[in-house]
Structure 1
């Protein structure tokens, strides 16, 4: 008698075997039809990431995903539709349709609903009612994966090894690695409108290029700390299916100031080489501050180099969305402001927005508190403060042996966060 884990293991192995055979026999299916676990298993190296036909399912391949005891692999061989070629050490299906029907009626439905290859072949069997188009639409795109990004980076480094110096100055994330998504944010109408404008520009790049309209997609995010500037920049990466290059200008400014200008050049060159992408520059005021306030010649040259690079980069021409973020807009001079075609404000949320943020953050929790009441007493709280408030409330409930948050937990959490704010303000004074 197979354990539940082993039965699930057999289904998993059968999914790989079925997927390989259906994918091999239907050449119009492409890598975006393969769910991520199948891609990583079937892919032959990452230098040129692709899944070649025919897909060979070897004993070694299945051992990589079978349970450590090997019980599921042994059980798979007892299936009447599975054949093992002892000469080539490969698995085959003797009757693909019969194997597919067995899979569908032995607990495989959930796997079919997340596997476009199987949805294409099995979705219509026996009125399962699984739509291939819907399943493919929900499948993560290969271009959004870390594997695809690593391949792009490797190709860029091969062409220009000098760009490797820029890799130490940025944090590069693939869209699939971005946890922050738009449905987890509460945006203002103005913020949502900017995202729509950027998406429209991306969809119409050829038209804009033809008409020499290139000053699009340079955004300056302005607002106090904790109001969501970084969160929205990362969520846009996920929303627009673009990798994001995160830069903190304080890290770019070398202790040897003469290197700062070169570092800025390298970062912008890397962004253009990896396009389409998002270049997110946090702490934008660190270098691009008023040149009147800094007499150091090397820093002035660095500021000028930054502004020149902003002029040269373009969503339309270069495929790069540039986002600068600052907590101190008063430090930016007029020349810096002029480089951005959109200035996006991130103000502290009002009561209605605070309630919406709390509702969004708590939607997966069992929360019996009055969120409107909490929103009313948290004037001056940022989105980050509200997130911390909810975390404190959850910890309070857990320490009391509960997994349901009540009003007392929320009230206590508000007091704790407010107290922290007072301490922080006093320490600055």
Structure 2
């Protein structure tokens, strides 16, 4: 038997065994399916229940596994019964099939398939842990697929909510790449994360005692210091979608629409909770209050502050994070809306060295990190990432995967050149 055909048989058998597991154990639901099988249960929308029995046909295998002619591939397998009507297939000798599959494939497939590991655990196969598989597998509730279904269900035909959806960038926890561990946080930033995580775990306790002044954070610091990155990483850690809003993009040329847009965004956040509402460019509030004579814009700012007042992480599960590069221009009315202010300073020597090591941990960098950290004083975390990216490109252009001192020097000069251009543009 060819290796390719054997691989297709394994894929088909895994799907058939997963279906048998789901059909036999009603306690399993959509969150127990590996990502490649989610489409198989999409018909139930937001419900986590799976419509049983799962019937596996040649057409379904084509849609899920992209395997043509699965009926002919598997029809002579001793563990499988093939029904010519509809070209349906199912496992006949379950226990032998499970043992053979485990002996053939080992732990790898079971680890990424909670439903399969549950079946194997029930069959008494040692070394297989359903709980381990569950924790190692993508969570359907944190996926983009589930989030889009939830948003679609919430919005329906509501034109105002459709408008709000078009004004924000939504990220599901699953699709966020960087974790908190990937970042080099200050002590203050780490403490803010711990406090929010503790509040999340004790929301009911806090609600019962009417402790609501938790969960409105203001991130302040220069551009490129990680404000957006930490907001995204928190969304991943807390298993919440992140709704990112840039206030300058919410403004409308039509009088009154800006206020309505702000109201719509907060309404969508409340309905989508638990979630993080991340408002970037929060200094837009101060600029509008001080420099704009337009009464409609001032009403919009007042609407924003009013919505912030009525938002509560403890009551309705919306964590608010505002971010600004210019904290000095925010007035008292804006400051007092936040119960915690978290500073994002430019990294010092030790943090620059740690950031550089994190960025290059999967790369080969022939450099002295102590010296490099000294030479990059004034660089933000974003600057350091761009510098390493440019250094890597320089190495690749000379057909090497190793960054040497000359490559690093080129990357550093690009950052310094960007700063000169930026400073010239601002004068």
* TM-score, scaled to structure 1: 0.94
SS of residue in 1 equivalent to 2:303: helix
Q: CA deviation at 1:41?
A: 2.7
Q: CA deviation at 1:248?
A: 0.8
C-alpha spacing 1:295/1:358, structure 2 compared with 1 (3 Å):
same
Q: CA deviation at 1:56?
A: 1.3
The whole-number CA distance in structure 1 between the counterparts of 2:151 and 2:65 is 32
Q: CA deviation at 1:26?
A: 1.3
* TM-score, scaled to structure 2: 0.94
Which one of the candidate residues 107, 128, 138 is aligned to 2:105?
107
SS of residue in 2 equivalent to 1:64: helix
The whole-number CA distance in structure 1 between the counterparts of 2:12 and 2:72 is 11
The answer on whether the counterparts of 1:250 and 1:286 sit within 8 Å (CA) in structure 2 is: yes
Q: CA deviation at 1:50?
A: 4.0
C-alpha spacing 1:110/1:370, structure 2 compared with 1 (3 Å):
same
The answer on whether the counterparts of 2:288 and 2:297 sit within 8 Å (CA) in structure 1 is: no
- Paired residues in the alignment total 427
Aligned to 2:192: 194
C-alpha spacing 1:158/1:48, structure 2 compared with 1 (3 Å):
farther
Is 83-92 or 204-213 further displaced after alignment? 83-92
Q: Kindly indicate whether residue 8 of structure 2 is the aligned counterpart of residue 9 of structure 1.
A: yes
SS of residue in 2 equivalent to 1:287: helix
The whole-number CA distance in structure 1 between the counterparts of 2:253 and 2:290 is 21
SS of residue in 1 equivalent to 2:31: helix
Q: Kindly indicate whether residue 163 of structure 2 is the aligned counterpart of residue 165 of structure 1.
A: yes
Note the aligned Cα RMSD (angstroms).
Answer: 2.0
Aligned to 2:153: 155
Aligned to 1:87: 85
Q: Kindly indicate whether residue 254 of structure 2 is the aligned counterpart of residue 281 of structure 1.
A: no
Aligned to 1:309: 307
C-alpha spacing 1:161/1:421, structure 2 compared with 1 (3 Å):
closer
Q: CA deviation at 1:147?
A: 2.3
The runs of 5 or more residues in structure 2 that have no matched partner are none
Task: Detail structure 1 runs of 4+ shifted over 6 Å in the superposition.
Answer: 124-127
User: 5 Å matches for 1:110-189?
Assistant: 110-123=108-121, 129-158=127-156, 160-189=158-187
SS of residue in 1 equivalent to 2:283: helix
SS of residue in 1 equivalent to 2:85: coil
Aligned to 1:219: 217
Q: CA deviation at 1:172?
A: 1.6
Q: CA deviation at 1:66?
A: 4.1
The runs of 5 or more residues in structure 1 that have no matched partner are none
Is 181-190 or 418-427 further displaced after alignment? 418-427
The answer on whether the counterparts of 1:287 and 1:299 sit within 8 Å (CA) in structure 2 is: no
Aligned to 2:62: 63
Aligned to 1:380: 378
